[in-house]
Amino acid sequence: MKVAVIGTGYVGLTTAVSLAMGGHQVIGIDLVDSKIAQLRQGRSPIYEPGLEEALVSMLGQGMLDFTTKIADAQEADVLFVCVGTPEAADGTANLSYLEAAVSDVQSLQRVAPRSRVVVIKSTVPVGTGDRIASELRESSDLHIASNPEFLREGSALQDALQPSRIVIGTADETAASVLEKLYEGVSAPRIATTRANAELIKYASNAFLATRISFMNELARLSEALGTDITTVARGMGLDSRIGPEFLRAGVGYGGSCFPKDTIALLQLAQQHGVSLSILDKAREVNATQPIWFLQQLHKRLPDLAGKQIAVLGLAFKPDTDDIREAPSLKILEALQKAGAKVAAYDPIASPAVRAIFPQVQYADSPAQACQGAHAALLVTEWKECVELDWKSIKASMESPLLFDGRNAWPSTQLREAGFFYTGVGKS
């Protein structure tokens, strides 16, 4: 099929590449000339394992192209809307990019009228798809569907090619049949439902996963007080088939582009309808305070951080991404600087983006360099480079061997036996 993808951000680019790999002829559309030029040269503007290699391959095979002009999508059977819906000042979803994309679709339809399926893949408030369908009702050739994405940063291409489920939200038979044909080569459970249900499935999924993380982080605080080990507790919980092991890892909190904005957007939506989501509200509160709670463990060993050198290992909100949006590291760096600490930070990918926010921080070329002369080292993102270290060399280079594991990823027993003071999150 011939497909156009409006928006070449994280979701749009991954969608475009994966559909091209599925045998469809795809054109990606974006307003930024420099980004389109970069993409046409086979360079991805985002870091995602395997994505750039796949991009180059699809360009070379002639299955994928990019443009700044909506008119270049005249032959498209399907139009995917993958623009951002960032958090507005009041916490609601900012739909201005979506409205602009819908306007572009209307312009295209006036210039080159034909039957097309418009697929909203952007995360939008419940009812948005129905409203857009109503706005576009004047054109009987446009068929509107909601098809939310469930991509995990760090494994987005794999998730697009082998999704956990495909949700098709529409009451339009043409849209439903076209999307079924589009995805006929993909083996995944299908959910055929309304647009509103599909939109809520997306929000509810992210909100529930965020709540699981916050529940474990709050439980880790209790575990710290009780002298128990939250990692063992989590394993014991996860073996229960009703619970499962995913998203039970305690740490310094969630970040990224989805969980923070989607949870507040869902809370705002509930408030508009007079419904209280108190559990989700508390989950956000726990997440907001988790990095500071983690730093309190550091203050117990080093009450006065003024002039102390602190190594911060990992800056992206999770490994295998360069995304620093709402990353816990940002709160940690801010707090350390306010306390007068001298910070040396390392991240294999995200350092340039963080440097623009915290230019006073020293950025190391390796974890070992960041730890040289440090009074304490903090693991914030569990990059492989930050977890698998030469501990004998690290201990010899540090001013004092204090380790604070914000991801419970370091070998605690080995480190304690080697003479380090080690503390994790909720680990006695």
How far apart CA 298 and CA 421 sit, in angstroms, is 11
Q: What angle do CA 349, 162, 215 make, to 5 degrees?
A: 65
User: What whole-number distance in Å separates Cα of residue 428 and Cα of residue 230?
Assistant: 9
Report helix, strand and coil shares of the chain as percent, to nearest 5.
45, 15, 40
Among residues 153, 83, 88, the alpha carbon closest in space to that of 118 is found at 83
Euclidean distance between CA atoms 309 and 341, whole angstroms: 6
Asked if 28 and 65 touch (Cβ cutoff 8 Å), the reply is yes
Inter-CA distances, 257 with 28, 63, 127, 262, 352, Å: 21, 29, 22, 9, 18
b/e burial code for range 258-296 (CB count within 10 A of at least 16 → b): bbbbbbbbbbbbbeeeeeebeebeebbebbebbbebbbe
Contact 101, 7 (CB under 8 A): yes
Q: Which of 82, 258, 371, 386 is catalytic?
A: 258
- Respond yes or no: is residue 258 known to be catalytic: yes
From residue 330, give the alpha-carbon distance in Å to each of 284, 355, 426. 17, 11, 22
CA–CA separation, 133 and 136 (whole Å): 5
Alpha carbons 169 and 5: distance in angstroms, whole number: 18
Residue in 63, 426, 411, 28 with CA at minimum distance from that of residue 223: 426
The CA-to-CA distance between both ends of the chain, in Å, stands at 57
**What's the token pair of residue 101?**
């994309």
Residues classed as catalytic: 258
